[in-house]
């Protein structure tokens, strides 16, 4: 393993709080790609390297002068492909990447700028500094990415796979589908919503799920994430897309953050429980 991988032992961990999830990250990726693909990086300005892990001191030396071939995503990580190296960016709890003018003054929480040859400026804003900007020669072997499960919107994540994973686990199903080694990118909002659409309570033991239940849940996860991406993600505290616009999926939620309100389908009050220090929401009548 590359020697610099030793740097990626967490030095501090954020408390469990809402953060940008897969749809927000995918919305950011799609927003940035048309402006940045095939542009040459000319300069990087790091105002504060003290993010969740230190920004590499040689970041500009490794990436400066390289052309951005594309922007990929693995779970909640953005992968900026510069050919000779891949830059990994995580938005943490409150981070956002925005395209702005080169003469736009940096604000207090604007920690990293990337300037491209056509004058385009990409800026990372991260008030809580739990995001990350890292660099690797091989993203597939990087310790943050090497052990991740399949992407939820790919054929690798199907009902057969989900059922097999559930059969080996006694943990609550919501915890299982939020485990990045099982499937990446199903965060708190989208886990609650997917379980609602599948008619499964979040505290149900995973190994109790039948094959038909896993088929419903697999389809619900794909449906919910697809809808969230189409809506531009959810507005979570400081999160906005690369153009500064908020996401709107949270306006469509059926259970998330609706404790005490009537279920949109049956009118039963939505319940709230806490699982692993995260709030879970469900309808006692629609979810069994």
> pLDDT, tens digit, for every residue of 155-169?
999 999 999 999 999
The neighbour count for residue 237, using CB atoms within 10 Å, is 12
Instruction: Say if residue 272's pLDDT is above 70.
Output: yes
Q: What's the mean pLDDT in 254-281?
A: 96
Which one of 52, 129, 201, 278 is the catalytic residue?
278
- Does residue 21 carry a catalytic annotation? yes
pLDDT digits (tens, 9 = 90+) for 198-247: 999 999 999 999 999 999 999 999 999 999 888 874 433 333 344 444 44
Q: Pick the closest to residue 195 from 184, 185, 206 (CA basis).
A: 206
Does 14 have pLDDT greater than 70?
no
Whole-angstrom distance, CA of residue 189 vs CA of residue 78: 20
Helical ranges in the chain per DSSP H: 22-36, 59-63, 159-167, 173-177, 188-198, 211-230
**Among 62-71, 105-114, 247-256, the least confident range:** 247-256
How are beta strands 77-81 and 86-90 bridged, if at all?
antiparallel
Q: Is 20 a catalytic residue?
A: yes
Secondary structure letter of residue 245 according to DSSP? P
> At CA 57, angle to CA 72 and CA 127, rounded to 5?
65
Overall average pLDDT of the 80-91 stretch: 97
d(CA 90, CA 248): 21
Residue extents of the structural domains in the chain: 3-141, 159-282
Residue 220: CB atoms within 10 A of its CB come to: 20
Q: How far apart are CA 198 and CA 50, in angstroms?
A: 41
**Residue among 250, 252, 232, 251 at smallest CA distance from 242:** 232
Instruction: Assign domain 159-282 to a CATH class.
Output: mainly alpha
Angstrom distance (rounded) from CA 247 to CA 135: 28
Active site residue 60: no
Give whole-number Cα distances, 124 to 57, 111, 120, 179, 194, in Å: 17, 6, 13, 27, 30
User: 13 pLDDT band (50/70/90 cuts)?
Assistant: very low
Provide the whole-model pTM: 0.84
Residue 197's pLDDT is what?
97
Active-site annotation holder among 29, 52, 76, 271: 76
| 172-186: pLDDT as tens digits | 999 999 999 999 999
pLDDT of res. 19: 63
Q: Minimal CA–CA distance to 190: which of 240, 242, 244, 226?
A: 226
Chain centre distance of CA 117: 29
pLDDT band, very low/low/confident/very high, at 2 (cuts 50, 70, 90): very low
21, 24, 26, 193: the active-site residue: 21
- CA 195, CA 283: separation in Å to the nearest integer? 10
pLDDT of residue 46 exceeding 60, the answer is yes
Virtual torsion, Cα 259, 176, 11, 75, nearest 10 deg: -90
In CATH, the number for domain 3-141 is 3.20.190.10
Predicted confidence at residue 20, as pLDDT, reads: 79
Tokens matching residue 248: 């709107």
**Whether the domain at 3-141 and the domain at 159-282 fall into the same CATH topology:** no
> Is the Cβ–Cβ distance between 24 and 233 less than 8 Å?
yes
| pLDDT tens per residue across span 116-154 | 999 999 999 999 999 999 999 999 999 999 999 999 999
Per-residue model confidence (pLDDT) at position 250: 53
Mean pLDDT (whole number) for 254-258: 94
In the chain, where do the E strands start and end? 41-46, 70-74, 77-81, 86-90, 96-100, 110-116, 121-125, 132-136, 271-275, 278-282
Q: Answer yes or no: 271 catalytic.
A: no
Q: Which of the 8 DSSP states describes residue 268?
A: P
Q: Which of 20, 23, 127, 202 is catalytic?
A: 20
């Amino acid at each position: 393993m590359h020697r610099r991988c030793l740097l990626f032992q967490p030095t501090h961990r954020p408390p469990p709080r809402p953060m940008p999830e897969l749809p927000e990250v995918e919305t950011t990726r799609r927003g940035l790609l048309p402006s940045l693909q095939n542009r040459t990086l000319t300069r990087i300005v790091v105002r504060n390297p003290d993010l969740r892990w230190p920004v590499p001191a040689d970041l500009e030396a490794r990436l400066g002068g390289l052309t951005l071939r594309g922007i990929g995503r693995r779970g909640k990580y953005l992968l900026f492909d510069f050919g000779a190296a891949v830059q990994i960016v995580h938005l943490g709890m409150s981070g956002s990447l925005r395209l702005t003018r080169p003469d736009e003054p940096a604000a207090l929480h604007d920690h990293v700028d990337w300037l491209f040859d056509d004058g385009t400026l990409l800026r990372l804003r991260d008030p809580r500094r739990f995001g990350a900007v890292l660099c690797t020669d091989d993203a597939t072997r990087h310790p943050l990415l090497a052990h991740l499960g399949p992407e939820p919107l790919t054929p690798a994540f199907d009902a057969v796979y989900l059922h097999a994973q559930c059969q080996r686990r006694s943990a609550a199903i919501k915890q299982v589908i939020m485990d990045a080694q099982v499937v990446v990118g199903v965060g708190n909002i989208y886990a609650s919503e997917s379980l609602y659409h599948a008619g499964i309570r979040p505290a149900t033991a995973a190994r109790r799920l039948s094959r038909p239940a896993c088929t419903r849940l697999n389809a619900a996860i794909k449906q919910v994430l697809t809808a969230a991406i189409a809506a531009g993600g959810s507005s979570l505290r400081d999160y906005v897309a690369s153009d500064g616009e908020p996401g709107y999926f949270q306006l469509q939620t059926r259970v998330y953050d609706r404790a005490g309100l009537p279920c949109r389908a049956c009118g039963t009050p939505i319940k709230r429980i806490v699982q692993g220090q995260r709030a879970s929401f469900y309808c006692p009548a629609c979810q069994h």
